[in-house]
Structures are given as structure tokens and as C-alpha cells.
Amino acid sequence: MKTYYKSIITSVFAAVLGISSMAAEQTNPTPYPLPASHAISTIDVANGLIERAYESVRENSPFAQFEEEDSSDDMQLIGEMTDYAAKYLGTRYRLGASGPKAFDCSGFIGYVFKKFGFNLSRTSRAQYTQGEKVNKSDLQPGDLLFFSSRSSGRGKVGHVAMVVDVKDDGSCTFIHASTKHGVTYQKFPDNGYYSRHFIGAKRIIGSTKA
């Protein structure tokens, strides 16, 4: 839906640019040469009109409003998900468990997302194929972080966690089912185990590939 709205807005902008090109070509409607200052003045006026047209489209387009509403809805959903996930802090880890009395890492993430209508694959490696790739510098709450593990081997996904908070400096806190502490919070980057084993991040909420 967002892509559809963006394509329409892009078409509107293209039409405005077409008008600007026509205006630039018709700055002298007479057969007589005009002073250079007149041509520059006419172009400046046309550019001003074009800029106001852009602003009008941005401010009044119902499609832009819909996108803002979608973003607001996503943030509300993410807040509910992180609060829900926190209810399971301290729940013990068990390999192959998918809750609610015990979880492994992918079982925990899948359990939380399913509560809110998202059906993720069962394993962390398969979950890594879902959603849209996110740069580490662009993380937001609700994103999934993937790491290698001792059992998966170097460079292969073996662990998954969900971002719950992002600081101004780009660091974040994630929640996950760890083998030692069960469901718990962890800072990232930690300049230790998780920094060394980080593989990538994916965005499920708001993604067209979810």
C-alpha cells in the first residue's frame, strides 16, 4: 500500500517537473530579444511557483497522511509487542521449546510475533530469510537481530533477538531467550560476544516482505 501511494506522489512530482521545463523554454513569448535579467527573473518566479507546488503536495496530499498514520500504527504495535515480550522475562531456556513455560531463541521470537498476527518460521536461520534487511545504524524497536552461535558455526545464523529500545548514540537493548539466563535483556553492541557474532538485522513490522 505504501509503495502504491509513493508511486502516485512521484507521478504528481513528475507532472510538476514537466510544467517547470515548459516554463523554462517559454521565458520569452516575443520575437524580440529580452535582457538577460528578465530571463533570470522569469525563471526565478517559475522556480518559486514550482517549490510552492511541491510544498502544497507534501502538506495536503492524503497519501502522505496515510503514510504518517501507518507509521504511527506501527510504533503503537511495536510498543505493545515489546511490553508483551517483557512479561516473559526470566522464563527458562529449553532447546526446541516455543513457550509459554520455556523457550529457545527462535521459539520466543516466533511466540511474541504470532501473538500480534505475524507468522515467522520456526528456526532463527529461516527467520533470517524473512522481512527486509536493516543497517545496524538504522535499527528501531521491533527489528530482529541475528547472530552466529557456538552450535551454528562462524558466519551462520544460530541465534535471534528483538530490539526493544534504541539510544541516540545508535546502541540498543534487545530481548532474547539466552541459554544461560532464559528470557533476558542484553545491550548491543557489547564489545564482546554479541558484537563478534553479529550477522545482520531484519525488519518484519512494516515490511512488504513479512
Name the residues annotated as catalytic: 105, 159, 176
The CA–CA distances, whole Å, from 85 to 29, 30, 52, 112, 204 equal 68, 72, 46, 6, 16
d(CA 44, CA 62) in angstroms, rounded, equals 29
- Cell 532447546, located at residue: 95
Please check whether residue 201 is in contact with residue 189, taking contact to mean a CB–CB distance below 8 angstroms: no
Angle, CA 139 vertex, CA 106 and CA 5 arms, to 5°: 100
Nearest to 174 by CA among 117, 125, 105: 105
> Hey, what's the cell of 60?
495536503
